[in-house]
Structure 1
Amino acid sequence: MSADRTTAWQHRLYFVLLGLTDVDLRDAGVRFDYTRGSLGDLEGAVLDRFASTGDLARPGRRDLVDGLVAYVGETLMRAAGGRWTWADDADTPLVSADPELGLAPVAPRSLLEDAVGARTGDRLVRALDRWARAVADHQARTPGWRPDKERTMADPPESREDELRDWLDLQAGSFDEWVASFGGDTTWDFTPGTLPAVQAVLRAAVSSAAGLHGPEHLRLRDGAAWYVGETFRRNLGGAWVKTGAAGTQNFPRVEGLGPHGTSRVTPVIALEGALEEDGYLSERFRKAGTSLRGRNG
């Protein structure tokens, strides 16, 4: 039961934090960067909004309180590592620091209640400082050690620069072979006029978007994706990017496209569109070249 509640909480993290930063405390003057200073500013905003601990349980405050719990917990874990947990008899989630520190789990909701009750403006910072001191003490005994934090939906995507570089080098180095296998009589010169030829190549070999990802078509798919991405990049600016984001198809994409640098394309996803819609790649290129807003796919 506690594992299920932990999983459900982790699925909500991104959304409650977004509500906190972009709605509930958008104008509170807090810089939400998970630093010690942000906790001090956050506590001031909490004291402005809650006159007593009972106010934390008032109807209509749940999303705000959950956002505060999420932010406090994530800030503690950025200092001392660890993970979210949920005790069987608890009503709110706990954060546990890296186990090597030997720290007892903390309930961020209890820290908020303490802050509202004490009204000293320093309770959240004091909690963070306790964890930071434990890390410093352990590092003094074990040089080079760093606390390990479980990744959550609150963490930014991890860069995959080495993986991206290897993939780009592989596709560029093997593109002549791709042309010999799939390219026919087309002059593959990275101009927008060749995008319909990519669509024709795909449709000659693959009957559906789902089939594109079969192991027998990976060479076709990746070579075509690289060519499409390079065609967009060379003509519309931008740069290749690859990040690790849990729960998403982790394909390389090109960002910063168009006259305002606000559009992007994930070529593999664009290939899916080309299999389903005539002229998709050319239309996608046209929109990327004129768009004022970012778009994926």
Structure 2
Amino acid sequence: MTQEWWQQEPAPAAKSDARPASRELFEDWLAEMDYALEGFTALGLPDQFTAVPFSRASVVMLEDVTLSRYADPRAFLDAEGPWVDGAVRYAGEAFRRAFGGAWDYSTDLNDPVVGKPYVVLDTAPAVPFSPFHALSMAVGDRGGGVLARAWDGQADAQAEQGHGELDDQRPSEQDATLVPGHSADAHLAAFVAGVDAEVRAWARGPAAPAAQWDGSATSLDLLAQQVVDRKVSVADPMEDPYLSGASRYLGRTLQQLYGGGWQRGQGAKDPMSPYAGRCYLVRLTDEGERISVSPEYLVEVAAEEGDSSIITDGAGTYAP
């Protein structure tokens, strides 16, 4: 049996305009994230794995399970089959969902994370988190707490960044709540934990066929058109299963494409406010500027006004 593709060191890239084969395989690997995670959590984790999905407690439990399976880093490195792949996916996704960011892959032989998928987190300065290396370190250390320390370090870094005012249309510090891992907002934690499952159910249900929702930027054009074609028959558009799922898909796609983390505006939901009582995305630019977007609000207004450009323009504003 051969190793998982990302466990192999890539050969030096030839001088060509074509992307390296490993990069193409990485993109395929990333496209299968949801289904791979679903299989890993259902079949790869023990029944005692009862922590909230993708929470700090869950990565601590994942480290414990990894230590029980592998006696040393070499055994972990040499492991065949899908379990290590699933553990890498799970740890990386837990950090990405909590702190914002995006998966990436390097073919630069001078890069310490070359050949392994990693997450560039949105905490400043942007630091690559390699779940493969973190889990390998945990297996070698065997003292426990490697992932917990990494999580707490990211939480501290994000807390230090603060929440300065953006502008009159953006949430201020007192309106914003930090993402899970360093927040007591149970609503936000439940929202973040449920986004992927809700998107899958939406894509297979009211938005079927699921194949058209591939997480690409172009799929958002289709989404915008379908939203305005939807006849809103309820007072709160988010009570409509299609529109509610569409807002989750819009947010998840923007996060996967451009990074960022979920936050939640305080207070009751206000139909006139993009942020009050809503979960929204915030990302940092390279200059430290905070850019935010409220997917739920974009979908609501687009559906009510019949204007697809509200979604496409909003997505464009969030993009780098």
Q: Give the alignment's TM-score, normalised by structure 1.
A: 0.49
Larger radius of gyration: 1
Structure scoring higher RCO (CA < 8 A, sep ≥ 6) equals: 2
Higher helix share: 1
